[in-house]
């Protein structure tokens, strides 16, 4: 075969195995060296391709698609710094457990490490942040090579999905000429299937844990951020059987269904800020699912709590920064909750649960008053959450947005779904993540983001011109880094604004015009509430003008009222 025929058969066979392994979407950034991958992905009739010019945005866009679909998404770029621009999203995918398949094109071996243009060392480029790396062989059409590369494709998809899910990196060296022959018949090797089993405990191990539960009245279930919602029903059933309250992180998936389950406690962040409450509510057993919760108050409570703490995690990673766990249980979360529920007797004494429910109800009332009466950023977030229709999706940025959602998402609101990049908790790439998610999910989709985070990823908005969507972007513009006003740095006013407040003084109306997106500036909470009634099917930006000092004062006022309410019980 000619070089071009070898190239075509080799790459098309690899891509077909990716598809057979569950890769149905790919995000391509333009470049010359990646031509074979780009052409043949685009030519595949069953793979949905998106083109994103900027690699950093493209990788986060794919991250959003993978989050929304639960399936691995391929990202393709040329050699050099293009591949380096994937790094932030690869890091997020690693710690958030999102399956990405990174396909970087490279110079052939004779053009490495000798000053060739646009050639950097791409071997293990992402270090330990990639679950697996492989430097692919040069293209050949020999059947043994095709079978080998097909197994590499299957292995890449399997490793990205194996617990804990995450990114893998395959590096493809290509010699010129780079264009494949799209007219030739593709020669395909036999495909490899992969089956994933779920980890679970044996009967003896389960018996020991069930005995502990049967002997413990004051227990808690902590539902932290989850990679998917598979464990929701099982955790609720476990709570029903044990009589243990479920402290549900906003990213756990459980708050979506809390209107029908009063054992789901959502206001813990507000009342566990009080040390007296931490002591009063100390539990003898804590069963924790998922990642570490958003709430710092809950993390401090877990560290302060002196009882047994079980950490359930299928991913063989000890996500326990508070060093609180007394037992690590390596099991699929849904399987473990179902197994444990099946072997314990339903408890009749619900006094402990009723105490939590009563306390939580009082705090819900205080938060409702806050959303109704206050004019700060947090109250505006509460107003947004109250307006979300059933089935909506909302992506929350890091720093203040996710924390305000944690505070203001309370019982009585419609059922919606929350997403966030809480792997590495960065403020970059959030716009692109939301746009990627909106390309997969149907229904109303919102992005709640701060002005600095929006600035970090403005270029991500370009895809709204290529792929129309209905994403509604809510920018809380407090002219700087609002979260720093709550931190000890704020007590040192000298240089605070220069180093931490960092006011960028941006008017996002200009960005909206640049990308031809509808725009509305909201100077008050009532303006914002009225603007949210616009049900336009197109993308739109709402810029909500807020004040950092007023926001800090209003939040502290809420926490004070919550403390007074819980102490009066």
Domains annotated on the chain, with CATH: 3-173 (3.40.50.970), 203-355 (3.40.50.1220), 374-567 (3.40.50.970)
End-to-end CA distance of the chain: 82
| Mean pLDDT value across residues 318-341 | 93
Lowest mean pLDDT among 163-167, 190-194, 386-390: 190-194
Element holding 314 (H helix, E strand): none
The Cα–Cα gap between 481 and 500 comes to: 6
Lowest mean pLDDT among 78-87, 176-185, 420-429, 510-519: 176-185
Q: In terms of C-beta density within 10 A (0-12 exposed, 13-18 middle, 19 or more buried), how is residue 218 classed?
A: middle
pLDDT surpasses 80 at 16: yes
Which residue's structure tokens are 């380096």? 84
pLDDT surpasses 90 at 64: yes
What is the pLDDT, as a whole number, of residue 317?
84
| pTM score of the predicted model | 0.95
What is the pLDDT, as a whole number, of residue 486?
80
What is the pLDDT, as a whole number, of residue 483?
84
pLDDT surpasses 70 at 152: yes
The Cα–Cα gap between 237 and 246 comes to: 11
Per-residue confidence band for 189, with pLDDT thresholds at 50, 70 and 90: low
pLDDT surpasses 70 at 428: yes
Using DSSP's 3-state secondary structure scheme, residue 506 falls into: coil
Residue 256: Cβ within 10 Å count: 21
Which residue's structure tokens are 């924390």? 403
Which residue's structure tokens are 């603007």? 531
ω into 177 cis (within 30 of 0): yes
What is the pLDDT, as a whole number, of residue 34?
98
What is the pLDDT, as a whole number, of residue 187?
58
Q: Is residue 477 within 8 Å of 508, Cβ to Cβ?
A: yes
| Mean pLDDT value across residues 299-308 | 92
Torsion sign over Cα 412, 413, 414, 418: negative
Contacts of residue 228, defined as CB under 8 A and 6 or more positions apart, other chains included, come to: 70, 253
Q: In terms of C-beta density within 10 A (0-12 exposed, 13-18 middle, 19 or more buried), how is residue 112 classed?
A: middle
Per-residue confidence band for 244, with pLDDT thresholds at 50, 70 and 90: very high
Q: Is residue 393 within 8 Å of 433, Cβ to Cβ?
A: no
| Mean pLDDT value across residues 529-535 | 88
pLDDT surpasses 80 at 316: no
87-135 pLDDT per residue, tens: 999 999 999 999 999 999 999 999 888 888 899 999 999 999 999 999 9
Mean residue pLDDT across the chain: 94
363-408 pLDDT per residue, tens: 999 999 999 999 999 999 999 999 999 999 999 999 999 999 999 9
Q: Is residue 414 within 8 Å of 258, Cβ to Cβ?
A: no
Lowest mean pLDDT among 245-259, 331-345, 492-506: 492-506
- Percent of the chain clearing pLDDT 70 (strictly above): 99
Residue 372 bridge partners (DSSP): none
What is the pLDDT, as a whole number, of residue 537?
85
Q: Is residue 221 within 8 Å of 235, Cβ to Cβ?
A: yes
Q: Is residue 391 within 8 Å of 416, Cβ to Cβ?
A: yes
| Mean pLDDT value across residues 485-491 | 81
pLDDT surpasses 90 at 438: yes
**Tally of CA atoms within 13 A in the half-sphere of 14 that contains its CB:** 29
Per-residue confidence band for 60, with pLDDT thresholds at 50, 70 and 90: very high
The Cα–Cα gap between 11 and 13 comes to: 5
What is the pLDDT, as a whole number, of residue 141?
86
B/e letters for 42-73, b = 16+ CB within 10 Å, e = fewer, are: eebeebeebbbebbbbbbbbbbbbbbbbbbbb
Phi, psi of 347 (to 5 degrees): -85, 140
B/e letters for 424-433, b = 16+ CB within 10 Å, e = fewer, are: bebbbbbbbb
């Amino acid at each position: 075969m000619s070089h071009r025929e070898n190239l075509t058969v080799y790459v098309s066979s690899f891509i077909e195995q990716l598809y057979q392994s569950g890769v149905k979407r790919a995000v391509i950034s333009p470049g010359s060296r990646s031509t074979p991958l780009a052409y043949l992905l685009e030519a595949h009739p069953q793979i949905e391709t998106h083109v994103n010019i900027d690699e950093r945005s493209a990788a986060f866009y794919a991250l959003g698609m993978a989050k929304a679909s639960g399936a691995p998404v391929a990202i393709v770029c040329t050699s050099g710094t293009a591949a380096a621009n994937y790094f932030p999203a690869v890091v997020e995918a690693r710690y958030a457990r999102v399956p990405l398949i990174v396909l970087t094109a490279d110079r052939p071996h004779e053009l490495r490490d000798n000053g060739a243009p646009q050639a950097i060392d791409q071997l293990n480029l992402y270090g330990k942040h990639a679950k697996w790396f492989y430097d692919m062989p040069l293209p050949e059409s020999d059947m043994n090579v095709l079978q080998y590369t097909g197994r590499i494709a299957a292995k890449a998809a399997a490793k990205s999905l194996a617990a804990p899910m995450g990114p893998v990196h395959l590096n493809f060296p290509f010699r010129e000429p780079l264009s494949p022959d799209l007219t030739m018949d593709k020669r395909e090797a036999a495909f490899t299937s992969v089956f994933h089993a779920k980890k679970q405990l044996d009967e003896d191990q389960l018996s020991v844990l069930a005995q502990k539960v049967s002997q413990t009245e004051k227990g808690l279930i902590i539902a932290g951020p989850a990679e998917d919602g598979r464990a929701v029903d099982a955790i609720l059933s476990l709570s029903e059987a044990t009589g243990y309250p479920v402290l549900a992180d906003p990213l756990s998936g459980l708050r979506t269904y809390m209107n029908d389950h009063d054992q789901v406690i959502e206001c813990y962040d507000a009342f566990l800020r009080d040390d007296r409450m931490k002591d009063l509510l100390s539990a003898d057993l804590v069963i924790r699912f998922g990642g570490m919760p958003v709430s710092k108050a809950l993390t401090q409570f877990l560290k302060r709590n002196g009882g047994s703490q079980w950490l359930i995690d299928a991913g063989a990673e000890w996500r326990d920064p508070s060093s609180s766990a007394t037992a690590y249980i390596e099991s699929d979360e849904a399987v473990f909750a179902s197994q444990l529920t099946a072997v314990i007797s339903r408890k009749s004494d619900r006094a402990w649960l009723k105490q939590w429910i009563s306390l939580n109800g009082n705090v819900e009332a205080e938060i409702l008053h806050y959303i109704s009466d206050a004019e700060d950023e947090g109250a505006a977030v509460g107003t947004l959450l109250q307006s979300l229709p059933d089935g909506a999706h909302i992506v929350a940025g890091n720093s203040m947005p996710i924390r305000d959602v944690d505070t203001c998402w309370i019982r009585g609101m419609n059922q919606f779904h929350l997403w966030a990049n809480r792997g590495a908790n960065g403020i970059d790439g959030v716009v692109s993540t939301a746009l990627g998610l909106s390309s997969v999910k149907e229904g109303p989709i919102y992005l709640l983001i701060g002005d600095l985070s929006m600035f970090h990823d403005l270029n991500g908005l370009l895809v709204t011109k290529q792929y129309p969507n209905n994403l509604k972007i809510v920018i809380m513009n407090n002219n700087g880094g609002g979260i720093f006003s709550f931190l000890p740095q704020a007590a040192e006013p000298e240089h605070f604004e220069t180093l931490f407040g960092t006011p960028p003084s941006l008017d996002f109306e200009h960005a909206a015009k640049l990308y031809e997106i509808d725009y509305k500036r909201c100077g008050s909470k009532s303006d914002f509430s009225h603007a949210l009634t616009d049900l336009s099917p197109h993308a739109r930006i709402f810029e909500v003008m807020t004040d950092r000092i007023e926001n800090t004062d209003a939040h502290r006022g809420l926490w004070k009222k919550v403390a007074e309410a819980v102490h009066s019980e």
